[in-house]
Amino acid sequence: MTIETFLFFMFSFFALAASLMVITLKNAVHSVLFLILVFCNIAGLLLLLGAEFLSFMLLIVYVGAIAVLFLFVVMMLNVKVNNSNLNSISLIPLGIAIFSVLFYQFNLTVKEFYIYKSMYQQSVIISWLAEENSLSNIKVIGNVLYTNYSILFLLSSLILLIAMIGVIVLTMHQRTDIKKQIIEKQLLRSPMGVVKFVTLRK
């Protein structure tokens, strides 16, 4: 067994174990943390299969943005555990139906793309020592983006910049119907009429 095959099975095992922990844990924060672990293991699998761009995009988008957003939302909402007596036996037919549909789609995809045949003919795991001198997916996609589609790439970045500026302008909108303190006027006022002594009756 090569090191690539060992890493493939290790990432697969940890991804399956972490995904089971996501759906079985009652604490929402722990579930989100195990979801981040699932994303990291899937990124490792994509990296082993030679899809470097998809692997890093998965880490940046899902782990760096969506999962962290889930974590902050769950921690801020302070989700309470509902101790309702749910009959888990009644969910077994629904689980079997969903599993059957997903397994049928997975088997159809495997047969359509001849994954079994390619796995038996040649290893689908990339040997990084053999691929050291060849172009990676990131270099090829970057070359295409910055040459053939450079105008579209710049236009999309300009649209994102306009959206960011629009959000900043909308959040910094000043309301005129709210009374606010004017520090300059408070500092320039005369202290003679501010302090007043009151004689209290005994």
Is residue 4 left, alpha or beta, with left meaning phi > 0 and alpha meaning psi from -120 to 50?
alpha
pLDDT of residue 118: 52
Rg (CA), the chain: 29
pLDDT of residue 51: 79
Q: What's the CA gap between 14 and 42, in Å, rounded?
A: 9
What is the tens place of the pLDDT at every residue in 18-71? Answer: 999 988 888 888 888 898 899 999 998 888 887 788 888 888 888 888 887 887
Task: Indicate the CATH number for domain 1-80.
Answer: 1.20.120.1200
Sketch the domain layout of the chain as residue ranges: 1-80, 90-132, 135-172
Asked if 41 contacts 18 with a C-beta cutoff of 8 angstroms, the reply is yes
What is the tens place of the pLDDT at every residue in 70-81? Answer: 877 777 776 665
pLDDT of residue 97: 92
Say yes or no to pLDDT of 17 above 60: yes
Of 99-103, 115-119, 166-170, least confident by mean pLDDT is 115-119
What is the tens place of the pLDDT at every residue in 113-153? Answer: 655 555 545 555 655 555 566 677 778 888 888 888 889 88
* DSSP states of 162-177: HHHHHHHHHHTPPPSS
Task: Pick the most confident of 31-35, 182-186, 196-200.
Answer: 31-35
Q: What is the mean pLDDT of residues 161-178?
A: 78
